[in-house]
Amino acid sequence: MSVAFTKSSYMKSLISQHIFGMAARIFFAGFILIGAAHSLRAQSNETHLKFVFGQPTAPAGWTAVQTNTIYSKETGFGFEPGADLQTPAHVSTNKLEGSVVTSDKPFFFHAAVPEGNYKVTVTLGGATADSETTVNAELRRLMVQQLPIESNHFVTREFIVNVRQPAISSGGEVRLTPREKTNEWWAWDDRLTLEFLGKHPSVAVIEIEKVEVPTVFLLGDSTVCDQPREPYNSWGQMITRFFKPQVAIANHSESGESTAGALAKNRFKKIWADMKPGDYLIVQFGHNDMKSTATNALETYTDNLRRAVEETRKRGGIPVLCTSVSRRTFDTHGKVTNSFRGYTDAVRQVAKEKDVPLIDLQQMGAAFYEALGPEDSHKAFATQKENTHHNDYGSYEIAKCVLDGIRQNHLDLAKYIVDDFNGFDPSHPDAVESFGLPASSLITQQTPAGN
């Protein structure tokens, strides 16, 4: 879908009279700010927000965003503080005319929205130099990957973003961890967050519209969740790039989590309260469950998986089970050992017993690491000391394993996979040298919970 508007349509909405004097200019600026706030609140009621960037004002139904527009609760939209933005000289093409905001470093834009699934339409480009733009949503969920745009040209892309809050519609709320209340709060707050990064990322238009689409819920541990900071990343953050704007990915996973913890903290309850018939729940636990010292820990884990399947099916949902993604545990023969004892076997057992689609990430992950070899497999992990948590490249490849598992299981979900995904063989992964996803500006030295 393209967004059609012209320079002339904006000019019609500009104030035609001149206002002289400092007092008049202050009054005018205040009037515009109040008008923008009222306009956005009206749009919020309809959950269809329309932003145009770099213009002093906007046509009816649109909201103008300037380079110095910082997010506030009063307006409900704006950039994250610290953004170094410019509006280049006006450029024009036969597809779109209008100003843009651009930068030489990553920047974030927030818009206040209720909980739900949103179709986001971004019109990118328009800079006076060639650009390559990547777009992340919420906590580094990859939506648009390294989109090349020639100077003075614009390109439109659509994707679906899930926005959630801790409250549960059936009562209660998710018991968040301290991390989720601090550096992971963007995954739970009342805003939709977009990060623009790459070579001269520039934005002309953003539309945000609430939609009803099938939802794929993800629930798992640190190898699945939205990792908030570089160099850590998880396959749940990368898989969003591979789905058409007809399905939402709602990642409820969290670092250090187990099946028992997810039940006790109402993570499963939150998902089941929001689940509609035809939605999916992909479950991947085991890394942390196996650390329990209880004598019946494995039995409890197995029963919890059965419960996840049964409760999902009661609501018309489609459960999918994943074995734990393999750790980097090489033996002396260059083969990856299974470090999960009986826990991956328990997943396979429940999948067979309940006739549930199974994605064997333990085996697929092992094949991926072995293809790289004991030394080069480090390049798939966040640090040289890591054997569990991936970097952007590693999680991108594991996400492809999940996609291939979806196809191998002949799930109806496969019809939503993007056309440029041509299948994946983990024993022949993408060359790490060919992977160049730009890094987010969010960086940490803190290791995720779990291992």
pLDDT in tens, 27-50: 333 433 334 444 444 344 458 999
Q: How would you classify the pairing of strands 97-98 and 191-199?
A: unpaired
Query: Which structural domains are found in the chain, ordered by start?
Result: 7-161 (no CATH), 213-434 (3.40.50.1110)
Distance CA 280, CA 413 (A): 8
The Cα–Cα gap between 205 and 98 comes to 9
Q: For 156-167, what is the mean pLDDT?
A: 98
* pLDDT band, very low/low/confident/very high, at 447 (cuts 50, 70, 90): confident
pLDDT, average across residues 132-136? 96
First-to-final CA distance of the chain: 43
**Predicted pLDDT of residue 28:** 32
Per-residue pLDDT band at 450 (split at 50, 70, 90): confident
- Minimum mean pLDDT range among 15-24, 56-65, 113-122: 15-24
- pLDDT tier, 90 (very low <50, low <70, confident <90, very high otherwise): low
CB-based contacts of 74, cutoff 8 Å, min separation 6:
37
Is the CA virtual torsion 327, 333, 334, 335 positive or negative? negative
3-class DSSP assignment, residue 216: strand
What are 377's two structure tokens?
């497999």
Tokens 């269809």 locate to 48
Asked if residue 411 has pLDDT above 90, the reply is: yes
Which residue(s) pair with 198 in the sheet? 133
Determine the average pLDDT of the residues in 126-149.
93
CA distance 403 to 407: 6
Residue 449 banded pLDDT, cuts 50, 70, 90: confident
Residue 9: pLDDT over 90: no
Q: What is the pLDDT of residue 47?
A: 80
Q: At CA 272, angle to CA 311 and CA 247, rounded to 5?
A: 115
Tokens 């580094």 belong to residue: 140
Would you say residue 178 has pLDDT above 50?
yes
User: Could you tell me which residue, 36 or 175, shows the higher pLDDT?
Assistant: 175
Going 65 to 68 to 73 to 77, the CA torsion angle's sign is positive
Residue 13, pLDDT above cutoff 50: no
- Apex 298 CA angle, 294 and 299, nearest 5: 100
Question: What whole-number distance in Å separates Cα of residue 1 and Cα of residue 242?
Answer: 18
- pLDDT in the model for residue 11: 33
Residue 26: pLDDT band (50, 70, 90) is very low
CA distance 161 to 173: 21
Closest residue by Cα to residue 353 from 306, 297, 299: 306
Q: Work out whether the CA dihedral 301, 235, 358, 339 comes out positive or negative.
A: negative
Both structure tokens of 244: 């058409």
Q: Which residues contact 24 (CB under 8 A, 6 or more apart)?
A: none
DSSP conformational letter for 289 = G
CA dihedral 33→34→38→43, nearest 10 degrees, is: 0
CB 438 within 8 A of CB 201: no
pTM, whole model, 2 decimals?
Answer: 0.88
**CB neighbourhood size of 423 (10 A):** 10
pLDDT (average), residues 421-438? 96
Residue 307: which pLDDT band, with cuts at 50, 70 and 90? Answer: very high
Q: How far apart are CA 370 and CA 409, in angstroms?
A: 24
Least confident of 51-55, 117-121, 138-142, 290-294: 51-55
To which residue do tokens 């992990």 refer?
A: 381
Segment 348-403, tens digit of pLDDT: 999 999 999 999 999 999 999 999 999 999 999 999 999 999 999 999 999 999 99
What is the average pLDDT across 212-216?
98
Mean pLDDT of 172-176: 98
Mean pLDDT of 409-421: 98
User: Mean pLDDT, to the nearest integer, of 118-147?
Assistant: 94
Closest residue by Cα to residue 202 from 105, 110, 121: 105
| Per-residue confidence (pLDDT) for residue 54, from 0 to 100 | 87
The two beta strands, 116-125 and 154-163, are antiparallel
Question: At 430, is the secondary structure helix, strand, or coil?
Answer: coil
Report residue 25's pLDDT band, with 50, 70 and 90 as the boundaries.
Answer: very low
3-state secondary structure of 329: coil
Mean pLDDT of the chain: 89
Span 221-239, average pLDDT = 97
Give residue-wise pLDDT tens across range 239-278.
Answer: 999 999 999 999 999 999 999 999 999 999 999 999 999 9
Q: What is the DSSP letter of 89?
A: P
